[in-house]
Structure 1
Amino acid sequence: MVNVRKALDLGIGSIKHAKLRSALTTLGIIIGVAAVVANVSLGASFNQFFTDELGTLGSNFIVIYSQDVNVFYDNELNIVRNTPGVEGVSPSNQQMSAVTYLSSTRQIDVQGVSKDAEDILNIKLEEGNFLTDKDKYIAVLGWKVANEKFKRNISVNNYIDITFTRQDGSKVTQKFKVKGIIKSEENAFVQGGPDRDITIYIPIATMNEMLNVSDYGGIIAKTGSAGSVRAVSNEVDRRLARTLGVSARDIGNADVKPYRIFNQADIIEQLDQLSNTLTILITLIALVSLVVGSIGIMNIMLVTVTERTREIGLMKSLGFKKKDILLLFIMESTLLGTIGGVFGVLLGVAGSYAVESYLSIPHVFPSFLFLLGFSIAFIVGLVAGVYPANKAASLNPVEALRHE
């Protein structure tokens, strides 16, 4: 009777006897496992990257923006501020404006906010300080505005002229003192409103005064925790809808409401769905390689059965039972699959690391991928060896011994 240890030794010996054939047989498994492992790792890495990118744009944020003028005033701002769970809130207005520095003029996005925007938007300063609610003609510049937009770099305490265009078409210009320069975040894939690198922030009261308006184009808020952001966002939505005359049945209808609202959890969910869909799609394509690999193992095992027909007949004549022959051939095919799994996982790790380094995204390799890669390869080898092993075990020993 053949035990597992003996079957393993015989399987290893058979693989060593035909090294090139064994290597080519496992190639499909190696490629398939590597593709699956690398794709799952890349999916996890992109999820982490998107989460990190959103973190640079703000922490547990809620963004509400009007779809018309005269929608948000101080009353709506206070409704958001007084909603349970809201820890910070800032009104917002923005306009593409003419900005002049040392006789050079550029069109730059200017956003009016309050001091709470620094915390809500997770703004980090390279130098200087952010706005306070007591500031008037004070500006905080995005990194690219200060260092790339003009011929000469702009520093803290320099002055710039900002020209706004009012609703009636008239223009108004005011000189602003630069109070701070924002550290560049280099957000490559995720944008939350204006790119802060090319944005100028000024006090909202100053901007509204210059534009001769009293309403706000939007409101940004922050909740106490990531777990509460969706619930708080829904409560803000209900309160604003009720205040603005939107019926309860129309709260979910964006075409009816005069504003739009979204939050960090919504964006993360959408990005997760996109990343997961792409990962599944590419992984399904990678599974084709596993199918090809399993067919390769089955084919080579069938060839092995033919080549070793006389050997099988001799083994049976010496007392080897059907289950012994089954074990021998299944062990050999499983070994081929497992060897392919080992090299496939290693190749998948190397491939995912190379791609993640090239794309400058976090290296995320869940530990379960090692088990996943080995398991897939083991099962493929096992399944692919069942039919050839059964064929070998079913051979008539007399006819097998007569085989030429």
Structure 2
Amino acid sequence: MRGKNMIQFVQATRIASGSISSSKLRSALTTLGIVIGVAAVIINASLGASFNQFFTDEVTSVGSNFIIAYSDQPNIFYDSELEMIENTPGISGVSPRKTVSGEISYLSDTKSVSIVGVNGDFQEIQGIEMEEGSFLTDKDIYSTVLGYDLAKEEFGRSISHRSTVDIAFRQEDGTLIEKSFKVKGVLEDSKETILGGDGSTDMIVYIPISVMNEMTGEEDYGALFAMAESSENIGTVSDEVDKRLARNFGIPQRDIGNDDSKPYVIIDQVDVLEETGALGDALSSFLLVLALVSLFVGSIGIMNIMLVTVTERTREIGIMKSVGYSSSNIQSLFLLESVMVSVFGGLMGTAIGGFGAYIIEEALKLPPVFPFKLIEIGILVSVLVGVGAGLYPARKAANMNPVDALRYE
């Protein structure tokens, strides 16, 4: 019985292949619709995965296990708040971060830059890599670390980690305070991130926060960057930091969850990953819907061409029924033809989609991510499209009256 079924299948395949090859142009145009549809699905699904990976990389590039407390108001964070976070269980390091506009001079040239005050923990918290020299420590006083472009390109001559530069701030009363700093290190050449705050670090200047406040005549910190001991307890540690700061500012416990009632905001790596993940998922869904529209159009093309084929082969169907082909044989034959066209288009679409996704990801400078399960999805989708689009025409052929079919002109 199994051998007979195999013979019937081989015969059906030959008949279907002959029908497809007898109308090469029409079959090619029909296949093209599936190729475009499946390729669109593969490309958009791959791009969605690449965008998700891109957002994840952007978040992790800001730092590892980070917890940030910041405020748009001045005079919120001082040493007491810094020590409070530092003494929170689960915190492995904390650094102030304060950004002030200033000037840096080397030889006879002066540039306006963003100057950032930090302490020694900031390098590990934000995952900073050095091109040369080393980062600041808590023992440094008049030392600075420069961004790559600022040190190597902006002044015409390369600044090494042994050079001396002048850094100046203007106080509120207009007094210009200028000091000489030894360049302790130069940051690794970086790329701008979506979470960079001050933009690319290539044009940034880091100095000890204590020296910055001394020169500007201030005592507060703009933000506090902390790092949890492990990624598993970021949320718990972040909540504890929030509770301690809330008590410090006299905020009732019932209002801790209401950001409007607090003079500060806390964000952590988990929160940012969830938000960027939701953004990536929304983008993936949107791209996938667009691709499915293309696939739907391709399936309509297959159904249309199969209906035309059934009409053209009406007499053939009558002959086949008169020599013993059953309705199920006829239905299987036309369904097989539809699936063959669709699967061939699906294989081509998967290959083209994978290559196209790689080209687009390279052009957009996205991480090349191609989930190999997309190959299975592409083939499965093409089979389903072939069955779905060919089912109605196949049933129409199977239900024909053989006498009427033989009389058809």
Tell me the TM-score normalized by structure 2.
0.94
Are 1:363 and 2:368 matched, yes or no?
Answer: yes
Q: Is the 8 A contact 1:110 1:200 kept in 2?
A: yes
Which residue number in structure 1 is paired with residue 36 of structure 2?
A: 31
Question: Mapping of 1:240-259 within 5 angstroms?
Answer: 240-259=245-264
1:285 offset after TM fit, Å? 1.6
Q: 1:5 to 1:242 in 2, by over 3 A?
A: farther
Are 1:312 and 2:312 matched, yes or no?
Answer: no
Structure 1 unmatched runs, 5+? none
1:207 offset after TM fit, Å? 1.1
1:57 offset after TM fit, Å? 2.2
1:179 offset after TM fit, Å? 0.6
Give the secondary-structure state (helix, strand or coil) at the position aligned to 1:395.
coil
Which residue number in structure 2 is paired with residue 390 of structure 1?
A: 395
Give the secondary-structure state (helix, strand or coil) at the position aligned to 2:159.
coil
Give the secondary-structure state (helix, strand or coil) at the position aligned to 2:260.
coil
Q: 1:255 to 1:170 in 2, by over 3 A?
A: farther
Which residue number in structure 2 is paired with residue 273 of structure 1?
A: 278
Give the secondary-structure state (helix, strand or coil) at the position aligned to 1:110.
strand
Distance 1:302 1:66 in 2: 67
* Aligned counterpart for 1:326 among listed residues 331, 334, 337: 331
* Aligned counterpart for 1:131 among listed residues 105, 128, 136: 136
Distance 2:253 2:36 in 1: 55
Are 1:105 and 2:131 matched, yes or no?
Answer: no
**Which letter maps to 1:325?**
I
Q: 1:65 to 1:168 in 2, by over 3 A?
A: farther
Distance 1:253 1:103 in 2: 51
CA deviations over 1:176-215 (Å, ceiling 9, x no partner): 1101000012135442445321111111111111122222
Backbone CA RMSD of aligned residues: 1.7
Give the secondary-structure state (helix, strand or coil) at the position aligned to 2:259.
coil
Distance 1:401 1:231 in 2: 78
Structure 2 unmatched runs, 5+? none
Give the secondary-structure state (helix, strand or coil) at the position aligned to 1:161.
strand
1:28 offset after TM fit, Å? 1.1
* Aligned counterpart for 1:354 among listed residues 350, 354, 359: 359
- Larger mean Cα displacement after TM superposition, 272-281 or 376-385: 272-281
Distance 1:49 1:327 in 2: 46
Are 1:232 and 2:237 matched, yes or no?
Answer: yes
Are 1:153 and 2:158 matched, yes or no?
Answer: yes
Q: 1:225 to 1:15 in 2, by over 3 A?
A: farther
Give the secondary-structure state (helix, strand or coil) at the position aligned to 2:84.
helix
Which residue number in structure 2 is paired with residue 57 of structure 1?
A: 62
1:245 offset after TM fit, Å? 1.4
Q: Is the 8 A contact 1:57 1:192 kept in 2?
A: no
**Which letter maps to 1:222?**
M
**Which letter maps to 1:276?**
D
Instruction: Name the count of aligned residue pairs.
Output: 404
Which residue number in structure 1 is paired with residue 178 of structure 2?
A: 173
1:255 offset after TM fit, Å? 2.5
Distance 1:242 1:36 in 2: 52
* Aligned counterpart for 1:91 among listed residues 96, 100, 114: 96
Give the secondary-structure state (helix, strand or coil) at the position aligned to 1:26.
helix
**Which letter maps to 1:350?**
F
1:168 offset after TM fit, Å? 3.8
Are 1:198 and 2:203 matched, yes or no?
Answer: yes
CA deviations over 1:104-159 (Å, ceiling 9, x no partner): 11111111111111111111111111111111100011112112332322111211
Q: Is the 8 A contact 2:38 2:378 kept in 1?
A: yes
Which residue number in structure 2 is paired with residue 80 of structure 1?
A: 85
Are 1:208 and 2:202 matched, yes or no?
Answer: no
Tell me the TM-score normalized by structure 1.
0.95
Q: Is the 8 A contact 1:146 1:155 kept in 2?
A: yes
Distance 1:333 1:193 in 2: 57
Q: Is the 8 A contact 2:42 2:353 kept in 1?
A: yes
Give the secondary-structure state (helix, strand or coil) at the position aligned to 1:109.
strand
1:247 offset after TM fit, Å? 2.0
**Which letter maps to 1:233?**
S
**Which letter maps to 2:268?**
N
**Which letter maps to 1:361?**
L
Q: Is the 8 A contact 1:50 1:190 kept in 2?
A: no
**Which letter maps to 1:308?**
R
1:226 offset after TM fit, Å? 2.7
Q: Is the 8 A contact 1:89 1:219 kept in 2?
A: yes
1:342 offset after TM fit, Å? 0.3
**Which letter maps to 1:272?**
G
- Larger mean Cα displacement after TM superposition, 223-232 or 194-203: 223-232
- Larger mean Cα displacement after TM superposition, 352-361 or 389-398: 352-361
Distance 2:184 2:35 in 1: 58
Q: 1:193 to 1:104 in 2, by over 3 A?
A: closer
Which residue number in structure 2 is paired with residue 42 of structure 1?
A: 47
Give the secondary-structure state (helix, strand or coil) at the position aligned to 1:84.
coil
Distance 1:327 1:134 in 2: 82
**Which letter maps to 1:85?**
G
Q: Is the 8 A contact 1:109 1:194 kept in 2?
A: no
Q: 1:130 to 1:5 in 2, by over 3 A?
A: same
CA deviations over 1:49-104 (Å, ceiling 9, x no partner): 22223333211212211222221122211221122221111112220101111121
Distance 2:352 2:151 in 1: 45
